[in-house]
A and B are shown apart, each in its own frame.
Chain A
Amino acid sequence: MSESKLERFKYGLLKAVDVSGFKVLDPLIRLIFREEPRKQSINILKFMITPIVFVLCCFWVWNVVAPRHKTNSGEVPKPAQVWDAAITNQILHTRENEKEEDFEISGQARLARIENLKGRLESATERSKQLKADLEDIQTQATLEQQKQLAPLTAKAEALKTANNEAQQSRASAAKTMSAQVASGKAQVDELLTLLRESNSLKESEKDAEQNLKDELKLLSEKPSVVQQAQVASNAAANEVQHLKKRLDYLTTGNRSVKVEKAVVTTTAALKKLDVAKTSAQILSAAKSVVSGEEKANRISEQSYPRRETIWFQVQRSLFTVFIGFIMAACVAIPVGIMCGLNKIVMACLTPIISIFKPVSPVVWLLIFQIVVGAFFLPDPNSYWLFEFCDALPFIKDLGVNPALIFSACTVAMCAVWPALVNTALGVSSIDQDHLNVARVLKLGLWARLFKIVIPSALPLVFAGLRISLGVGWMVLIAAEALSSSSGLGKYVWDEYQNGASQSFANIIFACFLVGIIGFFLDRLMILLQRSVSFDDGTAVV
């Protein structure tokens, strides 16, 4: 009984990996269930271990090659630096979360948290101080060592310089004497020329020797990696201290409940004043301050923490934008594609439009949409009904829907519409004649024929088209966001490029991986959908 259950579980698992496009895991699952271990091991070696080794090799090549290429933005980051960038981004995100919580917390919990944080701040400060001292120690020691190493070299360089200078001077005086001899006819002009040529070439080689020594000195005088590591550790500790101080700030004076309370206190004070006020001027001013105090309290209580845009926010916003664009594309592509597939005249009418607009670059579409769609949002985009509507929705209001997002989504839709449209048309037009004969024998009406025969039969190709569309859309989105500066991964990359901080380059490469991985999962999601509608035993192309 349990045997067959296990078997069923195994086949369920195998089917799941197949349907989701992770067929690579197939031999691993079979091995775990002890099915032909030898064969599975060979398959694992061939199709799992080998690719993993290959990818590791690629990382190794990257690691070796990257530091050798100097660029304007510093060294090309190594994998480890990109990993650090990823972690830094994650830390920024969690810190924002913590600060947000601190801003919103109130009552007893707030006080408890303050106590807790104070303790942590103390130890963090202690640690930071310690690390700073360590850094100084290491630095002085390193400097000493460096000087020890450098001293002979510096002396050597000095000596070389003076020797060269002397040699030059002696050559110059020799040339002078020679020229005097030429003037008095004791020597030939040719001899003088030869002497000058030799002197110049000697000067070149002397300069080269000096430069070589200088380079060597420069290399030695660079910060040793020990110092660099110590500096990174010290900086991290200092950052932590900063962060904790900021958190304490948000828990005390910057806290929402504290601010509200303050406003309430002023209001009550004003109310008391109003009670005892006698003259009309006094009454008016007290009443005014009551009203303004109330308003202030209300305003503050509705305030939310002004979050910095962390990487996960950018990811969310990008996904939202691509989703909107993709839905727009699908809503146009599927009906139009069905019409194209059903009617050859419609197809003939749309073919020129599809052929001409399909190859147009997303950048061009973005600019066109900024002008054309932008005109709808005039005069004040912020008060346009769409954005006010979006600001009233839960979740979506946090994403900050703005015209730039709409432009990006439109660009995505414009570029993603074509594959879905063409594939839908193909799916509908290539419907099996037998199925149409069935419809004729049954005398199905137009709608029944469409929904019972045509669309189900075209569905696998429709989803294949949608899958390509989503891939194109995600690719286009990053460019569109960068150009329209709509918050998202594209803008993140662009900002990092403009920013030029020490970690910017690593951040860009991190974003590159992130875009790729998200794109991969979106594709898998579409495969899953495609497989679920295909009726020919999942033989759809992967």
Chain B
Amino acid sequence: MSNPATEYSLQIDHANVGFGPPNARTEVLSDINLSVTRNEFVAIIGFSGSGKSTLMNLLAGLQPADTGEVRMNGEVVNEPGPSRGILFQNYSLLPWLSVFGNIELAVKQVFPEMDSSARKAHIQHYIDMVSLKGAEWKRPGELSGGMRQRLSLARTLSMRPEVLLLDEPLSALDALTRANLQDEIIRIWEEDRRTVVMITNDVDEAVLMADRIVALTPGPKATLGQSFDVKLDRPRDRTTLNFNDSFKRLRNEVTEYLTAINKEAQRLRVVDDVALPDLAPKELSTF
């Protein structure tokens, strides 16, 4: 751990990502720098459309950086792999496989040396972990949204990833299910700590779950802004947290900061609307 490069579990170094042909290029992410220490829970918070999912794909290796690089344990990441388990926003479950089958596909691929009884126990362990016991042979189509995301989580965890990437995992769920799953993810993480990068658009969620919150400025040319350390004791209890002063202060700080950068961005946004001619409808009653 003396090498400063390997001190961090995950690093983004001056990364830029853009789309489109050279003459009409849209820079989505520009000059992204992020260092995540081992077993840290980082929440990246930003407005919709600011390039959060692109950032996540960059971390996962699904999207290469145009310039700059992403490093994991000091090694450059240039393709996706099971060591960075990603939890997709829209679950990405295979609808023709059962709950068990979906996890089995991942486990078979990542741990080919496992014999069948060990594999079965391994899969069952993760199914139990996300409280899907009893639904092993159901297909994703028969599950509720919350259950689907649980399954997706179980599949990701079953690969025993070093780093867990959560791409707005709870944004498609209703408030109650969401709170439930937040607690569950925190519980699982506390039982078996690992590096987590979560993308979210919910300040409360970020404050509740993360060790550190990093803001993503509104795009285009989104970059990472201020970073807030969350120094609340764990385990955090959502019912008492609402009366906690430092929680409230931090939440307000983050919200104010986000509002400020959003206003700034709107002010800076170049207005290139087509100028409309100054016309008024004719008064028809005069005819």
Chain A positions within 8 Å of B, measured between CB atoms, are 434-435, 437-438, 440-444, 448, 452-453, 456-457, 459, 533, 535-537
Contact = CB atoms under 8 A, between A and B. Distances in A.
Contacts of B88: 434, 437
Contacts of B141: 535-537
B94 to A, nearest CB: 6
A457 to B, nearest CB: 7
A441 B81 contact: yes
20 contacts: A434-B90, A434-B91, A434-B92, A435-B92, A437-B62, A438-B92, A440-B79, A440-B80, A442-B106, A442-B109, A443-B81, A452-B105, A453-B94, A456-B94, A456-B96, A459-B96, A535-B95, A535-B141, A536-B95, A537-B141
Contact of B80 (A443, A452, A457): A443
Contacts of A440: 62, 79-80
Contacts of A533: 96
Instruction: Give the interface SS of chain A, mostly helix, strand, loop or mixed.
Output: helix
B86 interface: yes
Contacts of B90: 434
B122 interface: no
A441 B86 contact: yes
Chain B interface size band reads 20 to 34
A435 B88 CA distance: 11
B96 A435 contact: no
Nearest to A460: B96
Interface of B: 60, 62, 79-82, 84-86, 88, 90-92, 94-97, 105-106, 109-110, 139, 141, 159
Nearest to B142: A537
Nearest to B155: A438
Contacts of A537: 141
Given A440-B80, A441-B60, A443-B81, A535 B109 contact: no
A55 to B, nearest CB: 37
Contacts of B86: 437, 441
A434 B91 CA distance: 8
Contacts of B91: 434
4 A-B pairs with least C-beta separation: A434-B92, A535-B96, A535-B95, A456-B96
Contacts of B110: 442
B109 A444 contact: yes
B94 A438 contact: yes
A184 B106 CA distance: 124
Contacts of B80: 437, 440-441, 443
A541 B84 CA distance: 39
Contact of B82 (A442, A456, A535, A536): A442
A248 B253 CA distance: 107
A440 B91 CA distance: 15
Nearest to B107: A442
A449 to B, nearest CB: 10
A537 B141 CA distance: 7
Nearest to B109: A442
A434 B152 CA distance: 12
Contacts of B84: 441
Nearest to B105: A452
B80 to A, nearest CB: 5
A535 B141 CA distance: 8
Given A434-B90, A536-B141, A443 B95 contact: no
A457 B105 CA distance: 15
B79 to A, nearest CB: 8
Given A441-B60, A441-B80, A443-B82, 13 more contacts: A434-B92, A437-B92, A438-B92, A440-B62, A441-B84, A442-B106, A442-B159, A443-B79, A448-B109, A452-B105, A456-B94, A456-B97, A459-B96
B228 to A, nearest CB: 30
A65 to B, nearest CB: 51
A457 B96 contact: yes
Contacts of B139: 535
Nearest to B95: A535
Question: Which of the listed residues A437, A444, A453 has the most CB atoms from chain B within 10 Å of its own CB?
Answer: A437
A437 B96 CA distance: 16
Contacts of A441: 60, 62, 80-82, 84-86
B167 to A, nearest CB: 10
A434 to B, nearest CB: 4
A436 to B, nearest CB: 9
A442 to B, nearest CB: 5
A448 B141 CA distance: 23
Contacts of B81: 441, 443
Contact of B105 (A442, A443, A536): A442
A437 B109 CA distance: 15
A468 to B, nearest CB: 22
Nearest to B84: A441
Contacts of B95: 535-536
Contacts of B62: 437, 440-441
Contacts of B109: 442-444, 448
A540 B85 CA distance: 34
A161 B43 CA distance: 114
Question: Which of the listed residues B84, B94, B97, B159 has the most CB atoms from chain A within 10 Å of its own CB?
Answer: B94
B222 to A, nearest CB: 22
Question: Which of the listed residues A434, A456, A536, A537 has the most CB atoms from chain B within 10 Å of its own CB?
Answer: A434
Contacts of B96: 456-457, 459, 533, 535
Nearest to B106: A442
Question: Which of the listed residues A437, A441, A444 has the most CB atoms from chain B within 10 Å of its own CB?
Answer: A441
B94 A435 contact: yes
Contacts of A444: 109
Nearest to A432: B92
A420 B141 CA distance: 26
Contacts of A456: 94, 96-97
A443 B92 CA distance: 15
A434 B109 CA distance: 18
Contacts of A438: 92, 94
B114 to A, nearest CB: 15
Nearest to A445: B109
B87 to A, nearest CB: 10
B119 to A, nearest CB: 15
A536 B95 CA distance: 7
Contacts of A453: 94
B209 to A, nearest CB: 23
Contacts of A437: 62, 80, 86, 88, 92
A452 B96 CA distance: 10
Contacts of A452: 94, 105
A448 B96 CA distance: 15
Contacts of B159: 442
Contacts of A459: 96
Nearest to A442: B109
A438 B141 CA distance: 18
A58 B105 CA distance: 56
A452 B107 CA distance: 13
